[in-house]
Chains A and B, each alone.
Chain A
């Protein structure tokens, strides 16, 4: 099956810093999503981005499908950005999601 690797596993930042999270996947996919898991466990959908670039406020994401990776950029980080960020992929839109192991981000004031 498809393997999903995320890096780095842990990231500690001071408020205001920028960061880049990476997701590598081992096969072609038709669906790629970035999620933020909040302290209560809910997975918040950040981006649906099987290819191309999207931006939403301080967050942006880029997926290069031909090279099988995606990047999540967080600019001017805030303490509320803390949590675990997951990348998840599926081969086609109706297939199960395969999750990476996540990047745990801690932002300190």
Chain B
């Protein structure tokens, strides 16, 4: 069974640009969650999608958004990038048991 796939693995963007990250969950999993990891703030929850609906949202500005498609693949978008958005972005998928499985992450650097 394939794991959670995130693309791209690395990304360098300039302040003010926007970026889109992609996550394909484990086959059969309908829940996809996104987390941001920074040295200062640790791992923080961004949002969760289930069956194309946002079910839960963390405390992040509106520049951070996401969506989920009918095949459960999810994308997150960050608009008007700031230096502080540099982070490792992790996606997790979940079925009905055994908790969350994470992808390899996308490392975003904003310059």
Contacts and interface: CB of A to CB of B under 8 A. Distances in A.
Chain B interface SS verdict (over half): strand
B107 interface: yes
Contacts of A44: 102
A103 to B, nearest CB: 13
Contacts of B50: 94
A3 to B, nearest CB: 13
B107 A41 contact: yes
Nearest to A95: B56
Nearest to A34: B99
Contacts of B99: 31, 33, 45, 48, 93
B63 interface: no
Interface residues of A, number: 21
B31 A96 contact: no
A42 B31 contact: no
Interface of B: 31, 33, 35, 37, 42-43, 45, 48, 50, 55-56, 58, 88, 90, 92, 94, 96-105, 107
**Nearest 8 A/B pairs, CB to CB:** A43-B102, A48-B99, A99-B43, A96-B45, A42-B104, A41-B105, A33-B99, A48-B98
A98 B44 CA distance: 8
A94 B55 contact: yes
10 contacts: A33-B100, A40-B105, A41-B88, A41-B105, A41-B107, A44-B102, A93-B94, A94-B55, A97-B100, A102-B42
Given A33-B100, A48-B98, A48-B99, A96 B107 contact: no
A94 B31 contact: yes
Nearest to B99: A48
A72 to B, nearest CB: 15
B41 to A, nearest CB: 10
